[in-house]
Amino acid sequence: MTPRLLDFSLAAWQAYQGLPAGELRSQVKQVLERLADDPAATRADPRSRRHQIIEERLKQAAQVWGLPVDAPGGSCWLVVWREVANVIEIGYIGIAPGQNTG
C-alpha cells in the first residue's frame, strides 16, 4: 500500500508545528503517520468518529473523521481529517471541543 500524502490546512499545520517536543507532539505525529499509512485502519479505530455536521457545512461528499489524542494533564486533543483520492486533508489539530483550556 502506498502512503497517502498529508495536506494540512494552515491552522492545522501551525498547531502541529507549535506543539512543544514531548508526549503530545509524539502522539499527534503517530496519528498522522497512521493516517498516511492506512486511513481505513485509522477510521476503524474504536475512538475514531465521523463528523457529519462538518460534512454538511462543507457540502462535499468526502467523509470527515476525527481521532482524539490524550494529552498529558488529562486534556484531549483532536485530529480531524477527510480523505480525497490519495490525499488526506488535515483540517484541524487542537484541543477537542468542550475541553477546558486551563
Average of per-residue pLDDT across 77-89: 92
Q: Is the pTM of this model over 0.85?
A: yes
Question: Does residue 101 sit within a domain?
Answer: no
Instruction: Give the count of domains, the chain.
Output: 1
Domain membership of residue 10 (yes or no) is: yes
Domain, as residue range, for 62: 5-95
> Would you say residue 83 lies in a domain?
yes
Buried b (16+ CB within 10 A) or exposed e, 74-95: eeebbbbbbbeeeebbbbbbbb
Mean pLDDT confidence for 86-97: 92
Residue type, 95: I
In this model, does residue 100 exceed pLDDT 60? no
pLDDT tens digit string along 19-65? 999 999 999 999 999 999 999 999 999 999 998 878 777 777 788 99
- Does 102 reside within a domain? no
Grid cell locating 37: 499509512
Q: Beta strand pairing status for 5-8 and 49-50?
A: unpaired
Element (H or E) spanning 50, and its range? strand 49-50
Sheet-wide strand order for 49-50:
5-8, 87-95, 76-84, 64-70, 49-50
Of the candidates 9, 4, 8, which has an alpha carbon nearest to the alpha carbon of residue 40? 4
CATH number reported for the structural domain that contains residue 64 in this entry: 3.30.2310.20
